[in-house]
């Protein structure tokens, strides 16, 4: 036993459970900065593409080349937003938010339950109708 009253075994277990800083996830701020950099990098091609389209039209007087360059630059904002909003890939140790995937149970119970039927006498001359309740096992024919 150690002087502080703990055993060496428990001290070793604490060391095994320790989280290394190299295993830590990147902070939200760092992820945001990386996404902003990706967005700005992709969007930095938009204005030069439009300028290049104007220069190519001025140089060759061919509207098809200029329109092709503009056409390539049209989906850039959409792509930049999709790529910038993407989160880092999910790791194996990250819990799934959808619990129904992990469950392997059926919606209905597999055990048998007694079936209750109600037989009513409709004899109008007699007293008020009485209900007779009989319990049957599932799968048996009604009598």
In a domain, 37, yes or no: yes
Provide the residue range defining the domain that includes 39.
9-89
Residue 105 lies in a domain: no
**Does residue 96 lie in a domain region?**
no
Domain count for the chain: 1
Are 87 and 97 in contact, with CB atoms under 8 Å apart? no
- Say if residue 124's pLDDT is above 90: no
On whether residue 142 sits in a domain, the answer given is: no
- pLDDT of residue 141 exceeding 70, the answer is no
The CA-based angle 78-84-89, given to 5 degrees, is 125
Q: What's the pLDDT score for residue 44?
A: 95
Question: 63 in a domain, yes or no?
Answer: yes
Q: How confident is the model at residue 139 (pLDDT cuts 50, 70, 90)?
A: low
DSSP 85: T
Residue 34 confidence (pLDDT) above 70: yes
Helix (H) or strand (E) holding 52: helix 46-60
Task: Tell me if 109 is assigned to some domain.
Answer: no
89 forms beta bridges with none
Neighbours of 38 (CB within 10 A): 15
Banded pLDDT at 120 (limits 50, 70, 90): low
Q: Does residue 30 form part of some domain?
A: yes
Which pLDDT score is estimated for 54?
95
**Is 10 strand, coil or helix?**
helix
| pTM, entire model | 0.50
Considering Cα of 98, then 91, then 30, then 48, what sign does the dihedral take?
Answer: negative
* Residue 95 falls inside a structural domain: no
Nearest to 84, CA basis, from 136, 27, 50, 38: 38
The burial class, CB within 10 Å (0-12 / 13-18 / 19+), for 25 is exposed
């Amino acid at each position: 036993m150690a002087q502080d009253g703990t055993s060496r075994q428990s001290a070793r277990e604490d060391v095994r459970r320790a989280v290394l800083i190299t295993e830590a996830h990147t902070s939200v701020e760092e992820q945001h900065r990386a996404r902003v950099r990706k967005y700005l990098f992709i969007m930095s091609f938009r204005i030069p593409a439009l300028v290049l389209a104007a220069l190519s039209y001025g140089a060759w007087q061919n509207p098809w080349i200029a329109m092709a360059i503009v056409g390539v630059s049209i989906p850039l904002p959409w792509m930049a937003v999709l790529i910038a909003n993407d989160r880092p890939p999910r790791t194996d140790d990250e819990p799934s938010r959808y619990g129904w995937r992990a469950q392997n149970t059926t919606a209905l119970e597999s055990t048998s339950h007694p079936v209750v039927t109600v037989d009513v006498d409709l004899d109008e001359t007699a007293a008020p109708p009485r209900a007779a309740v009989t319990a049957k096992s599932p799968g048996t024919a009604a009598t």
